[in-house]
Chain A
């Protein structure tokens, strides 16, 4: 990518100049961003000991922010109508004033790209730099989920490749044919990730090379003569079938897109590659889904600490600090369950509260904390404990491990059990002695992506008969699929598979529901 960049080299971290605020008004310029960044960096490195990817700050307009929204924040993405749909939706909400825009978007890449809006005041830019360029950045670089599943150095190159590949397919095979595959693959996106690490690390760059090599090989060895050869006897065909059946012994397979990419009998090479692209991108975003609370908590905790230090050192004025607090408190606001504004648990609020509490327990524990967290209560190194948590947990395990009684009490968390066979809902546990552990466990499960997504696996293929693909949904707690949507997804799935598909919902060995899907037409 030969893109010219107007860059501003970073100034050496300024010597501490206590009492001299970095800025006073709301205006900012590039020089100020530099000085603010330097001041934050100094604290982040010396005190919090954050370890970050190099940052690339990009200043954009609100129009460009709307554009970025549409393609899940990525600077470049292949084209698809669903992004257009999100774009018109956000645009409408924004223009009508029903929804504000994010102050920033940060991308898990190396260098870490941070988009900041030109409309932000100097205080907001400081906050955004602390939040995204340090908080999120540290989390991206150090959390094990991201390390295991994403390749920050090459994601942008891979997206560029994906964009080019999709565009070339559109040229070659027509927009509608490409759209059909992408629609189907998008519908299965949540079931297109490997949940457990495979044999080899992900390397997106070699992905791209692999595809190019394969295509070059095909082009080199293309010979029109082959087409004219008489069809071979049926025996050879049966050999192929046998081989295919052996391939399919990898069942059951929970990564449906992977299964289709490898085994769907009627897909062409470019169609498999499209599925692969959707699958790789789903995999890239998978850690973000697993670490919402932690990621936002880490960034919020970091910005709060950095801003407080800047204020203590006199680098930002009291006025700015109040402006910051106003914005901070609205970010970590958790409406109560009976509030009109309640729309689920706010990951910023929960993450921030838990991380503040972890620091308190490390520095200043109560006897209760010592009983709950013997490993680190009173250890004296709050940041150390936090850095360890940021590196080695995801939401589910983080909550299970670190949600303290103090936080449960503060947020007055309580657990409901809603059994459809019971006419009433039961309050199972509340924020008391008997309830802490149950609340903690239940909340941890609530943030477990593995439980949010229904457990659906490719179970069997009827190769001898009509090639029907059989999937199983392992029903947990009697919660079945939304039938209307399931039927639509199965239709997409059947289109990719090329033959009928059947989904059985099974609980404890008993089939409690079944859905069918047939292809609308066979692909070329």
Chain B
């Protein structure tokens, strides 16, 4: 009997099969992910978790008997009151069929399983791309990278280096003069020949003694000795990575209601998720503003209310200041997303544009402006096109190709994800530029 400890073996043996399954069910899973994310809270969105796909898509068919018809005959345990000849009403079909199922429970209509966080996000953010990602991959704090680094004398069986072990075994065997089988065989043959030919008796005796000596040697010196064992060594080294700073700018003046803030929050959350997928380190700066801007923590950012007018340039100045102090553009990838209802003090528009054009856009990788509206607004008075807000009109003047800026309007929660996709969709011209 052998006992083998398999616990140190590398896990994840099923990973390849799992990936094959995911590829197979990709379209279904993608659909399910989109649906699941709709019903989820924004903070839970990156948690992975269970999704349900229709079992039909991944069904494995086989020839087997149908459920209905024919004459069936079966034995059951636990008779209580029946005697032979009793007649029992047939249990109702239809409702009962679900519980019967096949042996492994695949009779159910749905196949439910858990996605890992990465799988979930991969599907969720598929086909999206960060604009200008390749432009500035700058050095930041370290991540760990594993790479082979020589050999060591102990380790899990799976990391045994067979080649290296045998090489050491060979040199040890040569050094200790372990007889090799061919030599032994040659000596035996010679002995045989001498014996059959009736050769020199002393020579025969000497040969016999030598063979015996060599055979003992072969036994004493093992083919592989524990000292020969060598295992592959993996070293972990830090590796520089790219990092990003994300600025969330939001108007919190009284005109922004809870619904609008919720929309903005959802958008920011998606952006954050997306950035964490691409950068190992993502810093978030929350700047809220009325007529004056302030950096705050997340809680305050989303939940406390302030009153005052709306001066967007205040937030832009604050952002430029923080970026200059803490996130110099040669060391950080800077992304900014601004959410507002579009009501700006009209005298401020020119100033905002100037700051954007001269300070922020040159240092930012991407600047997204999201104009949030009331859910019921646009849809009902579709006929009367709503007048564009002052800020929207101002920004529109700014927009031109090759400028890392985009703007969209969102009125309803369900628009967030499509709008987000639209903003970050992989573009062909971007591919050409690279």
Contact = CB atoms under 8 A, between A and B. Distances in A.
Interface in B1-42: 1-7, 9, 11-14, 16-25
A424 B62 contact: no
A218 interface: no
B73 A8 contact: no
Interface stretch (B74-82, B139-147, B280-288, B401-409): B74-82
A21 interface: no
A39 B3 CA distance: 16
A239 to B, nearest CB: 36
Which one of B69, B79, B90, B157 has the highest number of Cβ atoms from chain A below 10 Å of its Cβ? B79
Interface in B47-82: 50, 58-80, 82
A442 B63 contact: no
Given A55-B2, A416-B76, A429-B84, A95 B18 contact: no
A33 B76 CA distance: 40
Nearest to A95: B114
A60 B76 CA distance: 38
A3 B157 contact: yes
Contacts of A486: 61, 63
B162 interface: yes
B83 interface: yes
Interface string A36-74: 010001000000000000111111110110110011000
A59 B3 contact: yes
A5 B69 contact: no
A5 B8 CA distance: 12
A420 B71 contact: yes
A480 B65 contact: yes
B60 A82 contact: yes
Which one of B19, B67, B83, B89 has the highest number of Cβ atoms from chain A below 10 Å of its Cβ? B83
B62 A425 contact: no
Interface residues of B, number: 64
Contacts of B158: 3
Interface in A400-449: 411-420, 423-432, 434-435, 439, 442-443, 445-446
Contacts of A488: 59, 61
Interface stretch (A152-160, A185-193, A258-266, A389-397): A185-193
Contact of B86 (A183, A426, A478): A426
Contacts of B194: none
B60 A56 contact: no
A191 B63 contact: yes
B3 A4 contact: no
Contacts of B87: 424-427
B3 A8 contact: yes
Interface stretch (A228-236, A244-252, A335-343): A335-343
B158 to A, nearest CB: 8
B66 A480 contact: yes
A66 B18 CA distance: 12
Given A5-B2, A8-B3, A82-B60, A482 B85 contact: no
A67 B4 contact: no
B160 interface: yes
A431 B75 contact: no
A416 B23 CA distance: 45
A187 B62 CA distance: 5
B113 interface: yes
Interface of B: 1-7, 9, 11-14, 16-25, 50, 58-80, 82-90, 111-114, 157-158, 160, 162, 229
Among all A-B residue pairs, the 5 with the closest Cβ atoms: A336-B78, A84-B21, A479-B70, A84-B17, A478-B70
